Amino acid sequence: MYEPFAAVDVIRAKRDGRNLTPEQIDWVIDAYTRGVVSEEQMAALAMAVYLRGMDTAETARWTGAMIDSGERLALHVSRPTVDKHSTGGVGDKITLPLAPLVATCGAAVPQLSGRGLGHTGGTLDKLESIPGWRAQLSAHAIGKQLEDIGAVVCAATDTLAPADRKLYALRDVTATVESVPLIASSIMSKKIAEGAGGLVLDVKVGSGAFMASLDEARVLAKTLVDIGTAHGLPTRALLTDMSTPLGAAVGNAVEVAEAVDVLRGDGPDDVVALTLALAREMLALAGHGDVDPGPVLASGEAYETWCRMISAQGGDPEAPLPQPEHVHVVEAPESGVLTTLDARAVGLAAWRLGAGRVRKEDPVQAAAGVRCLAKPGERVEAGRPLLELHTDTPDAVPAALAVLEGGIEVSDAAPESPPWPSTTVLDTVRS
């Protein structure tokens, strides 16, 4: 096949700080997917992009080229479709109550999700702790479930943005993950290929997130929203706190149990607040801005939708969830105010306990995880239980305790300007 460019010229252009042309971008992504651009050439280009960046037009084109490397899902659904994506956080089980809630309010939510790698959990791993539930659905089954129930959470098909799958694996081993244009184009290529009519992004900020500061997260949020706009996809982003775990549960079955509490009109305040904030944005994009999701959640109707959604994928929503073989309690070291319960430390502890995986082929323990029994800002007495560590492999407890070192702080008095946020939603970015 005739190749209109040479990879070295494209790499050299970006290395020297020049913008790539639309034709160069289309070619390099396509040629990489076909195996004509080698892994080492793409590694060099990814590093050049990491160091030199890409502007809005280049990033939007790069995203388009990755979408075109595969197929777009054709959703034939009678109601408006709207999706949500989170950049990943500790205890982030929001998809679980959110999808059935938004479906109950009149929109359809296609949530094609991934498995967890590293210290943030994966939605599919959480749902797989429900006996019988299966993640793999055909495109036909996804469409049918969306039409009948209005919500589907399942594994992304291999045909969605295959260039991203290849490039993400390469970035992972070449220290080029943390590049805003590469992160944004990776996320948006999969979301745009999914074919929903609107998208709400939950961009996490803090120790447990990709972006540690609000300013960095704002840049990522704006880049994501700009890509959506360039591709005609109405997109909004909320910037939300990830300095401490969301809710009390971090892991797999424990997070499902907490999501069910929320759907039954209970559950931790921060999880309820974020679920409702995201639902409002999604409903606005779907043209149902007049529907208030608060009373719908409180009424238990969304729980009915959850049960249908789980049953449709072979799961038994009433079956008892797996319980851990071993529980280790971490107590408050002294009396005072809990000033730090660090998201990253708790996420890593849950991972060490068996809730997450090191390599993508590793199994996860359904019952492993952490339950946080206090929130930053709360007064605690010495010896009061602060965390429960759940695992089927008690040998993992010392490693979990080691990563928690420094992640929990108790002070005599509350600091004058509290380091913990007073609200989960910190800002909104709209196009």
Catalytic residues: 85, 164, 171, 186, 190
CA Rg value for the chain: 22
Per DSSP, what are the bridge partners of residue 391? 326
Shortest separation between residue 231's beta carbon and ligand URA, angstroms: 16
Shortest distance, CB of residue 20 to ligand URA, whole angstroms? Answer: 19
The smaller minimum CB distance to ligand URA, of residues 86 and 244, is found at: 86
Determine how β-strand 369-372 pairs with β-strand 249-251: antiparallel
Q: Residue 246, SS3?
A: coil
Side-chain-facing half-sphere of 389: CA atoms under 13 Å: 26
Nearer to ligand URA, 48 or 400 (CB): 48
Map residues 162-191 to x or -, x wherever contact with ligand URA holds by CB under 6 A: ------x--------x----xx--xx----
Nearer to ligand URA (CB atom), residue 73 or residue 182: 182
**C-alpha–C-alpha distance, residues 256 and 134, integer Å:** 15
**Angle between the 301-312 and 95-104 helix axes, to the nearest 10 degrees?**
110
CB-CB contact of 92 with 249 (8 Å): no
Q: For ligand URA, how many residues bind (rule: CB under 6 A)?
A: 6
Query: What is the rounded CA–CA span in Å between residue 332 and residue 323?
Result: 24
CB 108 within 8 A of CB 197: no
| Site track 356-385 with ligand URA (rule: CB under 6 A), x = hit | ------------------------------
User: Judged by CB, which is closer to ligand URA: 209, or 355?
Assistant: 209
Q: How far is the CB of 149 from ligand URA (least distance, A)?
A: 26
Minimal distance in Å, beta carbon 13 to ligand URA? 23
CB of 167 to ligand URA, least distance (A): 9
Q: Mask 185-224, x = binds ligand URA (CB under 6 A)?
A: -xx-------------------------------------
- 133: three-class secondary structure by DSSP: coil
Angle at 206 between CA 340 and CA 415, to 5 degrees: 35
Of residues 188 and 310, the one with the C-beta less far from ligand URA: 188
Q: Of 69, 105, 153, 128, which is closest to residue 292 (Cα–Cα)?
A: 105
Residues that bind ligand URA (CB under 6 A): 168, 177, 182-183, 186-187
